[in-house]
């Protein structure tokens, strides 16, 4: 057995460079973000030293220049930041994964203060992303210390040369000689797109020179906004600014419904603006887009670790300078900080909705139709969210108004305590709705399968409260105080003409005598059918399986028609059967759409009745 030994892992340059060139980042476009981020850090460092009196201050404004030269096949990024000495260049550029940013933070900011300093780089790998698209990279740099300027040249094989530079200003110039295989990065439109995506809000002004001739009076303008809206206090932002920012960032001409401005400090440290987008129709994709930034540098659109799944319809930006990122800055590591950020966002969303409901009720009701699906789904998925939002959950009524669950139950106490009546089809169930509204009973309007699932969730939170569809069980308020006597002969007649020997038929006395009969379906069996529909819609197996509905036909003995049929049973059996069959079909029609065969039968019966009336 060999003796115990210790040592360090060594890496050969000729072996690591091909790996860097192909695998360092998931997308090659990221190289420009990394090089511009390094330039931003260089300026941030110099600003810090100037504030400490350790570097000479000048009147020259800080800036970053991105220059495209198609003829020379180069892309250059130049800054007037801190610069490097020969020693620093050897230490930080010639050594892979040794971060000058980390050293600077530890020296001038103290451990763990990177987020506060605004320093972006941490891993010492960003510079090498330039070799993903270049066969040679040059650096001209002059340190703020007055040390001689240095010129460094390195090939994609990792071989470098170091010599004196003729650069006469403080700062650094990175010249990337784009390889033949990556010629797309010599395209002006491509570079503008990349700058717009990754550098739109970097904290230093960035100017792009595409090589085209400029007019003498043409004003130079930066391609980025160094003070994005999320950096301002919410009290200083106008509605117009919020809308303009939304339309600019997401290229969406529609105005958002409303926004949530987040400015979290201790113990968290992140800022952002989240928008509830306007959905044009139910078939439109409801997947949102929240852009994640790190000290104003774009990181990713994929923020599933930060935003709960049930809030992914949101659009917005989050700037989280303390989020733990891997070296590619493309994926978040799961840790307690991420969970706290997510929880804070959920709380802010809930607080915003409750505030709107309480203080801007009219406006809140106007947007409820757009956000209802999202809010209901969130309340179903997260009990904590439900607890926060329960007083802002609205129920739309058939008369066009809105009430909260508690408001509905309070108003209904005298007529139907702890019961919420609803409809899922105002046209098909119009007869039922009219019976309830005649008696002063409000009817809630549901328009999706999710609504009924949401009703079940609310029931689980409110002990004793029950949601019933208008055709589930007629309310006691619809009936007269006198109990209807059972007429077995009449009930048998309707069961026979229905063609369904399992159909339960009973008699009731309703206050409304115009309705001869109604069909009811038990709430439990219909909800089970709805669950099966959602299961099939989500890709579950089961074919055309239909859950057997627990239906019941109720004959209204206060109706003159039912009384007439009862009288005909002993004298004109055939006529009684014809009328009963027709009334049954009318009841069925107000319950669900006819099948083709049922429609043919119904039309034949209608024609026959019209013929009899015309005699």
Q: Would you state the pLDDT for residue 9?
A: 46
Give the least confident one: 90-104, 427-441, 487-501.
90-104
Compute the average pLDDT of residues 358-380: 92
Q: How far apart are CA 110 and CA 105, in angstroms?
A: 6
Looking at the whole model, is its pTM more than 0.85? no
- Beta carbons within 8 Å of 288's beta carbon, 6+ residues apart: 277, 312, 313, 314, 315, 316
Q: Give the count of beta carbons closer than 10 Å to the beta carbon of residue 536.
A: 14
74-85, pLDDT tens digit by residue? Answer: 999 999 999 999
Provide the token pair at 323.
Answer: 């989020």
Residue 580: phi and psi, rounded to 5, are: -65, -40
Q: How far apart are CA 374 and CA 353, in angstroms?
A: 12
390-405, pLDDT tens digit by residue? Answer: 999 999 999 999 999 9
Q: Would you state the pLDDT for residue 308?
A: 85
The yes-or-no verdict on residue 68 having pLDDT over 90 is yes
Q: Would you state the pLDDT for residue 524?
A: 84
For residues 143 and 82, is the Cβ–Cβ distance under 8 A?
A: yes
Q: Would you state the pLDDT for residue 218?
A: 77
For residues 65 and 199, is the Cβ–Cβ distance under 8 A?
A: no
The yes-or-no verdict on residue 423 having pLDDT over 90 is yes
| pLDDT class of 368 with cuts at 50, 70, 90 | very high
E strand map for 408-543: 419-423, 444-445, 466-469, 504-508, 517-521
Q: Within its chain, how far is the Cα of 202 from the centroid?
A: 25
Q: Would you state the pLDDT for residue 483?
A: 67
Q: Within its chain, how far is the Cα of 154 from the centroid?
A: 45
Compute the average pLDDT of residues 324-350: 70
Greater pLDDT, 385 or 338: 385
| pLDDT class of 287 with cuts at 50, 70, 90 | low
Helix (H), strand (E), coil (C) string for 252-272: CCCCCCEEEEEEECCCCCEEE
Q: How far apart are CA 202 and CA 223, in angstroms?
A: 10
Q: How far apart are CA 553 and CA 188, in angstroms?
A: 73
DSSP sequence for 464-493: T-EEEETTTS--GGGB-SSPPPP-HHHHHH
| pLDDT class of 357 with cuts at 50, 70, 90 | very high
Compute the average pLDDT of residues 557-576: 87
Q: Give the count of beta carbons closer than 10 Å to the beta carbon of residue 209.
A: 14
| pLDDT class of 203 with cuts at 50, 70, 90 | very high
| Residue given tokens 């607890």 in the structure block | 387
Residues in the chain: 615
Beta bridge partners of 479: 510
E strand map for 156-257: 160-164, 171-178, 206-209
- Beta carbons within 8 Å of 50's beta carbon, 6+ residues apart: 56, 57
Compute the average pLDDT of residues 465-479: 84
| Residue of 557, 548, 556 whose CA lies nearest to 432 | 556
Q: How far apart are CA 62 and CA 55, in angstroms?
A: 14
Q: Would you state the pLDDT for residue 122?
A: 40
Q: Would you state the pLDDT for residue 355?
A: 95
| pLDDT class of 546 with cuts at 50, 70, 90 | very low
The yes-or-no verdict on residue 211 having pLDDT over 90 is no
For residues 524 and 531, is the Cβ–Cβ distance under 8 A?
A: no
| pLDDT class of 452 with cuts at 50, 70, 90 | confident
For residues 56 and 144, is the Cβ–Cβ distance under 8 A?
A: yes
178-189, pLDDT tens digit by residue? Answer: 999 999 999 999
Q: Would you state the pLDDT for residue 102?
A: 43
Greater pLDDT, 328 or 364: 364
Q: How far apart are CA 231 and CA 203, in angstroms?
A: 11
The angle, 0 to 180 degrees and rounded to 10, between the axes of the packed helices 560-568 and 488-498 is 90
Give the least confident one: 7-16, 26-35, 189-198.
7-16
Decide: helix, strand or coil at residue 315: strand
For residues 508 and 482, is the Cβ–Cβ distance under 8 A?
A: no
Give the least confident one: 89-93, 298-302, 425-429, 551-555.
298-302
Compute the average pLDDT of residues 99-114: 46
Which of 135-149, 295-309, 464-478: highest mean pLDDT? 135-149
Q: Would you state the pLDDT for residue 115?
A: 43
Q: Would you state the pLDDT for residue 514?
A: 87
The yes-or-no verdict on residue 450 having pLDDT over 70 is yes
What are the structural domains of the chain? 13-209 (3.30.565.10), 231-371 (3.30.230.80), 393-478 (3.40.50.11260), 483-519+548-615 (1.20.120.790)
Beta strand 270-276 with 315-319 is antiparallel
Q: Would you state the pLDDT for residue 327?
A: 37
Q: Would you state the pLDDT for residue 531?
A: 74
Name the average pLDDT for the chain: 84
């Amino acid at each position: 057995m060999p003796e115990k030994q210790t040592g360090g892992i060594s890496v050969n340059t000729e072996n690591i460079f091909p790996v860097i060139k192909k695998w360092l980042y998931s997308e090659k476009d990221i190289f420009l973000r990394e090089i511009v981020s390094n330039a931003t850090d260089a300026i941030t460092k110099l600003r810090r030293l100037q504030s400490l009196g350790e570097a000479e201050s000048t009147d020259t404004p800080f800036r970053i220049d991105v220059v495209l030269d198609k003829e020379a096949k180069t892309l250059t990024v130049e800054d007037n930041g801190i610069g490097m000495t020969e020693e620093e260049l050897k230490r930080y550029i010639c050594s892979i994964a040794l971060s000058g940013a980390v050293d600077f933070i530890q020296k001038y900011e103290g451990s763990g203060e990177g987020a506060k300093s605004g320093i972006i780089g941490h891993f010492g790998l960003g510079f090498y992303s330039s070799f993903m698209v270049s066969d040679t990279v040059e650096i001209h740099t002059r340190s703020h210390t007055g040390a001689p300027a240095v010129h460094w040249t390195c090939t994609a094989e990792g071989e470098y040369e170091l010599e004196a530079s003729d650069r006469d200003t403080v700062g650094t110039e990175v010249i990337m000689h784009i390889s033949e295989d990556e010629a797309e990065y010599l395209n002006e439109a491509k570079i503008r797109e990349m700058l717009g995506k990754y550098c739109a809000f970097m904290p230093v002004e960035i100017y792009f020179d595409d090589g085209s001739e400029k007019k003498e009076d043409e004003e130079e303008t930066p391609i980025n906004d160094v003070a994005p809206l999320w950096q301002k206090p919410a009290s200083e932002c106008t509605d117009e600014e919020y809308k303009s920012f939304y339309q600019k960032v997401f290229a969406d001409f529609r105005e958002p419904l409303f926004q949530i401005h987040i400015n979290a400090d201790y113990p968290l440290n992140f800022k952002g603006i989240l928008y509830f987008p306007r959905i044009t129709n139910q078939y439109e994709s409801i997947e949102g887009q929240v852009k994640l930034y790190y000290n104003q540098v774009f990181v990713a659109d994929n923020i599933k670790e930060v935003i709960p799944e049930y809030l992914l319809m949101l659009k917005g930006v989050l700037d989280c300078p303390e989020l733990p990122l891997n070296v590619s800055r493309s994926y978040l590591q799961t840790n307690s900080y991420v969970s706290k950020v997510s929880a804070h966002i959920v709380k802010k969303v809930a607080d915003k909705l409750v505030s709107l409901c309480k203080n801007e009720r009219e406006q809140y009701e106007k947007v409820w139709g757009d956000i209802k699906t999202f809010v209901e789904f969130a309340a179903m998925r997260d009990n904590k969210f439900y607890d926060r939002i329960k007083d802002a959950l609205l129920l739309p009524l058939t008369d066009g108004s809105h009430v909260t669950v508690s408001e509905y139950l309070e108003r209904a106490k005298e007529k139907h305590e702890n019961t919420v009546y609803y409809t899922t089809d105002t046209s098909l169930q119009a007869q039922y709705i009219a019976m309830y509204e005649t008696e002063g009973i409000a009817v809630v309007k549901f328009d999706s399968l999710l609504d009924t699932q949401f009703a079940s969730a609310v029931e689980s939170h409110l002990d004793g409260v029950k949601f019933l569809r208008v055709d589930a069980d007629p309310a006691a308020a619809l009936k007269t105080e006198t109990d209807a006597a059972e007429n077995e002969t009449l009930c048998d007649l309707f069961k026979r003409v229905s063609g369904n020997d399992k159909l339960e038929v009973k008699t009731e006395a309703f206050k409304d005598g115009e309705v001869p009969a109604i069909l009811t379906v038990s709430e439990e069996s219909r909800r089970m059918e709805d669950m099966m529909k959602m299961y099939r819609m989500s890709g579950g197996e089961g074919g055309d399986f239909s859950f057997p509905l627990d239906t019941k036909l109720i004959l209204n003995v206060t109706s003159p028609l039912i009384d007439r049929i009862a009288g005909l049973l002993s004298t004109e059996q055939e006529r009684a059967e014809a009328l009963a069959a027709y009334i049954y079909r009318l009841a069925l029609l107000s319950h669900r759409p006819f099948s083709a065969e049922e429609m043919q039968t119904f039309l034949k019966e209608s024609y026959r009745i019209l013929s009899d009336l015309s005699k």
